[in-house]
Chains A and B, each alone.
Chain A
């Protein structure tokens, strides 16, 4: 590849200190040695169960948390504390909860205009208003809604406001942190289609974090699967979905609801046994081995590295 990818994450680690006793602090490894890349105008889907560190990856990527180790490259330049302000014009975020991510004391106009204010992206009041109205039109909001407050809108409309705010600085890359999981299914479809339209129009790249595999498969070109802070499988959306190799991915895929009774009767559900181990006391070697039916001795010894299984399909498993 001649050109460097838009976003490249190298060995990102994010540990949180947790007080476990009076003087004891232990490290909670929320994200442990994660690497991936996203090309321009491309969508990478990030899936995994609750608490596996998906959201932390997104937030650390934007330096909302100070990473413990590793680096994030934007078009080859590392994102640091010094250049983060200008980087925020290129990387933005859409939040999970449309109810708490909008300030209840601000009008829609001020919420969408805030990034413009912070980065001083207009020369006069008229230009500011024009830009805001253009953004509102882009996400399908009426211009007459500009003077209203966030609590007067439905969940879907609120999420549109959040998207307009992220788009205000004209970013190249947006982290979508479970943007549809708080919405009704009918609204989810609208919002996801809007994400796709915006990508076509503006050429933005997404890191699309979700736990709904169908949604992620629909919108993403490539998918990464996370388990306990580590990426266990990554590849093109179809490879991960239809030719999943890692036992964890297989069990995830077998749990996807498909509206076809005949198919469901014929398919074998892989039900995982046991609970997710405590992230404070991670099992040695592969974190999944305690719930994996294929686990062998080697799994307890060392974490399997991501190895290429053809066509960029990377899997971290010793057995398969």
Chain B
């Protein structure tokens, strides 16, 4: 054994192996081998992304803010005893003095009522011109705005995803034709179409009274239709681009060599791999839809009259701006908070989930 050891060259910096004997080296036992295994927690893509998201203070702040807003718009109508279209009355008598009240003040009739031992829920944001509780109107306005934003984004997501994934996956001539259609749609003026559609729909559509559609009004329906018709193109382009790059990966070829049908390849391999982009762009789509809705309501093309939306509330407050500035402040603040926190959340999601931005 020892003569097999290489002789050490006196000038070499190598370890002198002749000093060691074979018995000094022992095989590691199984237990010792196992100790060398590096055990790391198996993290999924989502866990990892969420961990990063919760490390981002702005994203956490926006999540808290959104949670708070959601909590208020869900539970406030249950606690506040007023309705958004209810004209205030005390003991069945119409309260004509409860007009344009400042926040946390009562009308004369209400003060009398309280002095007589009755209890009255405070008007947190005051009241409006038609003696309606302003807080509950802002809450309902926020509800409408968020719902519009959410559903419009879902419409955009579904249509954009279906169109983009087919175009990107099939490629070639099909892709060329589908993308030229997108280019044409992209060039149509959206505001003009919303206005035209709402005019046309008003005469065409007849909703059963009392339904959700009726209270939303034709303007909102045309807004949804326009989102479905025009706004998906950005999403479709984005998803097509993602799929074009994912398609190049060998695991797609591997799935093909297994014999997986196209639908399975899109569903199981391609879409899960571009889900991060989808989440991010949907999160950023919601504020833009809310903004469009507020803008349209402000111009007067939004929701039908008694139903408030943040935009139409802001528009109504314009009249008495010098006397009652807070009536513009509340809906405007609500729009700002919602849009800002959704944008920050979208940014946070992108930082957390986009592999290209990994630090």
Contact = CB atoms under 8 A, between A and B. Distances in A.
B209 interface: no
A92 B45 CA distance: 29
Interface string A77-110: 0000000110011001101110011111110000
Interface string A94-132: 011100111111100000001100110000000000000
Given A101-B250, A105-B45, A93 B273 contact: no
A294 interface: no
B44 A118 contact: no
Contacts of B250: 95-97, 100-101
A165 interface: yes
A103 B268 CA distance: 9
A169 B260 CA distance: 13
A120 B254 CA distance: 17
Nearest to B256: A64
Nearest to B269: A103
A114 B255 contact: yes
A318 interface: no
A313 to B, nearest CB: 32
B259 interface: yes
A272 B256 CA distance: 39
B269 to A, nearest CB: 5
Interface string A135-172: 00000000000011100100000000010010001000
B208 interface: no
Q: Number of contact residues on B: which range applies?
A: 20 to 34
Contact of A93 (B44, B254, B261, B272): B254
A245 interface: no
B42 A149 contact: yes
Given A103-B269, A147-B42, A152-B40, A162 B254 contact: yes
A106 B272 CA distance: 9
A95 B258 contact: no
B17 interface: no
B21 interface: no
Interface residues of A, number: 30
Contacts of A59: 253
Contacts of A97: 250
Contacts of A62: 257
A101 B251 contact: yes
Interface in B69-91: none
B249 interface: yes
Interface string B227-261: 00000000000000000000001110111111111
Contacts of B264: 118
Interface in B271-299: 272-273
Contacts of B254: 93, 95, 101-102, 162, 165
B251 A102 contact: yes
B257 A104 contact: no
Nearest to B270: A103
Contacts of B272: 103, 105
Given A148-B42, A149-B42, A149-B44, A64 B273 contact: no
B257 A85 contact: no
A103 B252 CA distance: 8
Contacts of B261: 118
Contacts of B251: 100-103
Given A118-B259, A152-B40, A104 B45 contact: yes
The 3 closest A-B CB pairs, nearest first, are A88-B259, A101-B250, A105-B272
16 contacts: A59-B253, A62-B257, A84-B259, A85-B259, A100-B251, A101-B253, A104-B45, A105-B269, A105-B272, A105-B273, A114-B255, A118-B260, A118-B261, A147-B42, A149-B42, A165-B254
Interface of A: 59, 62, 64, 84-85, 88-89, 92-93, 95-97, 100-106, 114-115, 118-119, 147-149, 152, 162, 165, 169
Given A101-B250, A162-B254, 10 more contacts: A62-B257, A64-B256, A85-B259, A101-B249, A102-B254, A103-B251, A103-B269, A103-B273, A152-B40, A152-B42
